[in-house]
Amino acid sequence: MSFAKEQQAAIEACLRAAKLCERVRSAIPKAIEKQDQSPVTLADFGSQALICQYIRSAFPDDPIVAEESPKELMKPEHAENLKQVVQYVKEENSDVDEKKIIEWIGYGDGHVTDRFWTLDPIDGTKGFIRQDQYAVALALIVGGDVKVGVLACPAYGEEGGLLFYAVRGQGSYTQPIRSFETTIPTRIYITSNTDSDKFRFTESVEGAHGDQSKQKMIAQRIGISAEPLRMDSQVKYGAVANGDAVLYLRLPNPGRGDYRENIWDHAAGTIIVEEAGGKVSDMDGKALNFRDNEKMLHNRGVIVSNGIIHEQVLEALKN
């Protein structure tokens, strides 16, 4: 299959969501704290509503496994927040009211099947709130394999951000978000970048998302001496695919031994790096499992590289 229709729908949905997110972010949004104490903003809900509605309209039989639930917005204390979400979404889709917003967000309550979409409407919410890096991440998974991936990164690269997208077997591409309609796609090819300022690794801003001391040690063992590029979200996959870093490390935090990664935090980025010529695995060298569950229960950590240094990293981890 060419997945041309799926790619077009995913790109259009993510571009619309990115526009909404930037409008919300310009107002410096206040975060809502979820039950797990992680933050969520009006943009998370608006982005998920737009994307889920768009994908459901194009592919009504495809389930969507997304991060957010409409339950938070349905609480009486968030009535004003719900009204604000409606107003933001109306700027992209005028045919909406509070009932439809709840319905559209709820489309993301799907389950992992042989063919499904997985969505993080704002990956890196803390970065979004800080006016820093974040991504809108959408991927189509068929038979456990990511077939289509889109990352909209409004704060990355040139002004207005970059859109990364890939289809399995067809390469990875990038275009400016702001001038998407008037620019030609650029195909990305990862090279063995040894420039002193680019021969570096990237990791999460949040220390709890990994083992930063171990990550630095592993990087040093394979010859990386530069300070890490710390960013929120799957933008780090974009950095590796785009040649701005040669390695992304996300090793398990010693204090969170039972933690397992969510599929929506890695699926879109994985195909973009792989189709650019890079490699993605867990710290044991196994492929990331997007087949069985919304959490990658059988994977420990995530290693993303330009492909050339991947075996060196795995060997350094063994030792």
CATH number at residue 235: 3.40.190.80
Q: How many CB atoms lie within 10 A of CB 104?
A: 23
Identify the active-site residue in 41, 44, 211, 232.
44
What are the DSSP calls for 13-24, one per residue?
Answer: HHHHHHHHHHHH
Identify the active-site residue in 41, 118, 125, 174.
125
Of 188, 221, 245, the residue at which a domain comes to its end is: 188
Q: Within this chain, do residues 175 and 269 fall inside the same structural domain, yes or no?
A: no
Question: Domain total for the chain?
Answer: 2
What local confidence, expressed as pLDDT, does residue 159 receive? Answer: 75
- Active-site residue, 125 included: yes
195 lies in some domain:
no
What local confidence, expressed as pLDDT, does residue 160 receive? Answer: 84
Q: Which of the two residues, 170 and 73, has the higher pLDDT score? A: 170
Of 5, 42, 2, the closest CA to residue 22 belongs to: 42
Q: Within this chain, do residues 153 and 232 fall inside the same structural domain, yes or no?
A: no
Q: Within this chain, do residues 54 and 122 fall inside the same structural domain, yes or no?
A: yes
89 lies in some domain:
yes
194 lies in some domain:
no
Q: Are 263 and 295 in contact (CB under 8 A)?
A: yes
Q: Within this chain, do residues 184 and 223 fall inside the same structural domain, yes or no?
A: no
Of 135, 167, 188, the residue at which a domain comes to its end is: 188
Q: Within this chain, do residues 74 and 163 fall inside the same structural domain, yes or no?
A: yes
Q: Within this chain, do residues 159 and 51 fall inside the same structural domain, yes or no?
A: yes
pLDDT band of residue 184 (cuts 50, 70, 90) is very high
| Average pLDDT value for the chain | 93
What local confidence, expressed as pLDDT, does residue 313 receive? Answer: 97
Q: What one-character DSSP code corresponds to residue 152?
A: E
Is 114 known to sit in a ligand binding site? no
Q: Within this chain, do residues 212 and 174 fall inside the same structural domain, yes or no?
A: no
Is 120 known to sit in a ligand binding site? yes
298 lies in some domain:
yes
307 lies in some domain:
yes
What local confidence, expressed as pLDDT, does residue 319 receive? Answer: 85
Which are the contacts of 258, defined by CB distance < 8 A and separation ≥ 6?
A: none
175 lies in some domain:
yes
Range of the domain at 211: 201-318
**Cα 156 to Cα 115, 128, 132, 172, 248, distances in angstroms:** 30, 12, 9, 17, 16
Q: Within this chain, do residues 74 and 108 fall inside the same structural domain, yes or no?
A: yes
What local confidence, expressed as pLDDT, does residue 192 receive? Answer: 72
Is 123 known to sit in a ligand binding site? yes
Q: Within this chain, do residues 31 and 159 fall inside the same structural domain, yes or no?
A: yes
Terminal Cα-to-Cα distance of the chain (whole angstroms):
42
Q: Within this chain, do residues 120 and 10 fall inside the same structural domain, yes or no?
A: yes
Q: Within this chain, do residues 231 and 181 fall inside the same structural domain, yes or no?
A: no
Rounded-to-integer distance, Cα 276 and Cα 81, Å: 40
Residue 178's CATH number: 3.30.540.10
Q: In the numeric block, which tokens belong to residue 61?
A: 């039989």
Q: Within this chain, do residues 53 and 142 fall inside the same structural domain, yes or no?
A: yes
Type of residue numbered 250 = R
What local confidence, expressed as pLDDT, does residue 133 receive? Answer: 96
- Active-site residue, 44 included: yes
Rounded-to-integer distance, Cα 229 and Cα 236, Å: 9
Helix, strand or coil, per DSSP, at residue 164: strand
- Is the entire prediction scored with pTM above 0.85? yes
Q: Render pLDDT for 94-136 as a digit per residue (tens, 0 to 9).
A: 889 999 999 999 999 999 999 999 999 999 999 999 999 999 9
Is 265 known to sit in a ligand binding site? yes
Helix, strand or coil, per DSSP, at residue 225: coil
Q: Render pLDDT for 206-248 as a digit per residue (tens, 0 to 9).
A: 888 889 999 999 999 999 999 999 999 999 999 999 999 999 9
Q: Are 241 and 190 in contact (CB under 8 A)?
A: yes
Which are the contacts of 192, defined by CB distance < 8 A and separation ≥ 6?
A: 306, 308
Of 154, 188, 222, the residue at which a domain comes to its end is: 188
